[in-house]
Amino acid sequence: MQAAAEGVQLLVLPENFALFGPEAASRGAVLWQEIDAWLSAQAAAHGLCIVAGTLPVPVRPDGLPVPDGRVRSATLVYAADGRRLGRYDKRHLFDVEVGDAQGRYQESLTYEPGDDTVLIDTPFGGLGVLTCYDLRFPEQARALRSAGADILVVPAAFTAVTGEAHWQVLLRARAIENQCLVIGAGQGGWHSARRETWGHSQVIDAWGTVLAERHEPGQGLVMADWDVQSQQDLRRRMPVEQHRRD
């Protein structure tokens, strides 16, 4: 794996990294456990923590099946020894109209929304997930920060239209507001004659500085070093969390 060879310790994959398109939900219902096992094996084989974008999973975290033939858009997180550290199910579904060739998106026809925010304990600190459309809801990021998040990861498939307008602005805002490292892993390129995603995966520090960004569509690895001490110092000098008045 290229990431491991480059010295990556925390790898974040985009939304729908394995299954994307109109048949993703039905295929995920059959294949998700096989993909889950493969990801666990890859994490252990290469000694890195993997945040596995999203998979269409036909069961809820409690093991009960998702009703009505729908699935959950689940992010699975694995430790470097292959253990699954946690799961987060996307809470905000993309039922919107966009001025692109696709026109209308309605995730709720296929997906059931998740119920809870989830803080996942990792060797790098508390990790919270904001899946694509979740990024537009600052209260979710704030809840994760209050719970102890040090890193916010954003697996996404932003449309080209919304991505060009809002992707980086929202990522930087969530980083600055919550004084967290933000890692945005975005699908980028054409997926059909009508579906284009924005890409521009990037890493942003707690001050809002873009440490690394991929400008070209398609596959690629975006890497940055995280200065943990600098983030801790920023939180000490500007204790935003302690100053909040609800």
Indicate which residues carry an active-site annotation: 15, 90, 132
Give, in degrees to the nearest 5, the angle at Cα 117 between 126 and 147: 40
Cα separation values, 28 from 63, 84, 118, 242, Å = 16, 18, 22, 42
Q: How far is CA 80 from the centre of its chain?
A: 18
Q: Is 240 left (phi over 0), alpha (psi -120 to 50) or beta?
A: alpha
Instruction: Give burial (CB, 10 Å; 0-12/13-18/19+) of 189.
Output: middle
H-only helix segments in 152-213: 160-162, 168-178
In degrees and rounded to multiples of 5, residue 49 shows phi and psi of -85, 130
Give, in degrees to the nearest 5, the angle at Cα 5 between 206 and 86: 55
H-only helix segments in the chain: 2-5, 24-46, 138-147, 160-162, 168-178, 228-237, 240-243
CA–CA separation, 24 and 41 (whole Å): 22
Listed residue (19, 196, 198) closest to 110, CA to CA: 19
